[in-house]
Amino acid sequence: MHKKLTSSCPLYTISVLNLVKTYNGARALDGLTFSVERSAICGLLGANGAGKSTTVRVLTSLTRPDSGSALVAGFDAVQAPQEVRRRIGYVAQKSTLDGNATGLENLRLQGRLYGLRGLQLTKRIDFLVSRFDLRPLVGAFVRTYSGGMQRRLEIAMGLLHSPEVLILDEPTTALDPQARIRVWNLLRDLAGEGLTVLFTTHDLEEADQISTKVAILEQGRVVAAGQPASLKQTVLADSLEMEFLSSVDAENAREILDQLAEVHDARCFGNHLAVRARDSMRAAPIVIATLRDAMIRVIAVRMRQPSLSDVYLHYAQNDRSLGSYPVGSH
């Protein structure tokens, strides 16, 4: 029987230290280190190939690292994989549901895989069906469910055995906005009841909406981690968003503003220009006066608070699929 281990702080439900994993000579994980507090919602952010999926595979004991350690709910994912699996629920990005079975049949099968039987299984299913608002269609074939309802069913299946940790891979991919918000609210509620949630995403809005902590991965390493609000304070305070008559005007404005000492960075998005400065309030009148002197008409100017997009661009070594600086986000 495996002894339960403890990380350096007992508040951590997940503790990862110096994980290394190599595939065909390339390092998918390169000294990965991070931790997740009990009842936190932690988002692993990163572009494709940053190491998110490999991290999840190690934490779910599906992949053995070359070196390093990963403790989940107090057990080592390499030394005690069965103990870890009893304490986690896992929801994969690709659906594992049987579309030709009913929701109830999917739940029963999942429960039996975890050793639940009889009245214990029936009560647990009844509770989750009510909790996740699945009762209207629980007796129907899963192939008739909407995408959002299928996702709620998968999360319910991941919670059948009352795990301490729920791990989700891209939890709201392809869901419509209403379904996404419903899943977000469910995850918030679960964390509020003591469940630790870890999810991967390249959707920065999603991470900003529901995470109490984020870890930004780049080339198999964590380049920044912490509460979203705290991380935003480490980047430039705010930015100016400017709208022009045309994309040509925006590009001309960018070339001019790049020469100003007050401007740290300027990026075009169609006929919009995002301008970052150390002190945007002080830089704004200088920027506007400079463009007026250059005979470039500005239609609108507004301030924007820093977002997780700014944090990502600040810490990640390259942009790749996350390389956006979204105009109009809050």
In this structure, are 153 and 170 located in the same domain? yes
Are 43 and 113 in the same domain? yes
Output phi, psi for 89, to 5 deg. Answer: -110, 140
Residues 6+ apart with CB under 8 A from 7: 15, 35, 71, 74
Q: For residue 328, is it within any domain?
A: no
| 316 vs 88 pLDDT, higher one | 88
Residue 231, φ and ψ in degrees, nearest 5: -65, -35
Contact 162, 190 (CB under 8 A): no
84 and 147 together in one domain: yes
Domain contains 205: yes
Cα angle for residues 38, 151, 97 (degrees, 5° grid): 110
Q: How far is CA 273 from CA 78, 310, 321, in A?
A: 49, 15, 20
* pLDDT score, position 326: 33
- The answer to whether residue 329 is domain-embedded is no
Could you tell me if 60 and 155 lie in one domain?
yes
Residue labelled with tokens 């699996």: 85
Residues 6 or more apart in contact with residue 179 via CB below 8 angstroms: 146, 147, 148, 151, 172
Q: Let me know if residue 316 belongs to a domain.
A: no
As for how many domains the chain has, the answer is 2
CATH value at residue 269: 3.30.70.100
Average pLDDT over residues 319-324: 38
Asked if residue 62 belongs to a domain, the reply is yes
**Which strand (E) or helix (H) includes residue 158?**
helix 147-158
Judge if 217 and 166 occupy the same domain.
Answer: yes
Examine the domain organization and report whether 140 and 113 are in the same domain.
yes
Residue 322 pLDDT class (50, 70, 90 cuts): very low
Task: Give yes or no for residue 161 having a pLDDT over 60.
Answer: yes
**Is pLDDT at 166 greater than 70 in this prediction?**
yes
Q: In this structure, is residue 314 part of a structural domain?
A: no
173-217 per-position pLDDT tens digit: 889 999 999 999 999 999 999 999 999 998 888 999 999 999 999
Mark whether 278 and 194 lie in a shared domain: no
Are 71 and 15 in contact, with CB atoms under 8 Å apart?
A: yes
Same domain, 256 and 227: no
Q: Is residue 3 part of a domain?
A: no
- At position 125, the amino acid (one-letter code) is I
Instruction: Assess whether 32 and 96 both reside in one domain.
Output: yes
CA angle 322, 25, 79 (to 5 degrees): 90
DSSP for 267-321, written as a single string: EEETTEEEEEETTHHHHHHHHHHHHHHTT--EEEEEEE---HHHHHHHH-S--GG
Residue 26, burial from CB neighbour count under 10 angstroms (0-12, 13-18, 19+) = exposed
Domain's final residue, options 209, 232, 255: 232
Does 312 reside within a domain?
Answer: no
Residues 65-120: tens digit of each pLDDT: 999 999 999 999 999 999 999 999 999 999 999 999 999 999 999 999 999 999 99
The verdict on 125 and 252 lying in the same domain is no
Residue 253, H or E segment: helix 247-257
Q: Are residues 186 and 257 in the same domain?
A: no
Domain span including residue 61: 12-232
20 and 157 housed in the same domain: yes
- Burial of 164: CB neighbours in 10 Å, binned 0-12, 13-18, 19+: middle
State residue 267's pLDDT score.
85
The token pair that represents 324 in the structure block: 């956006």
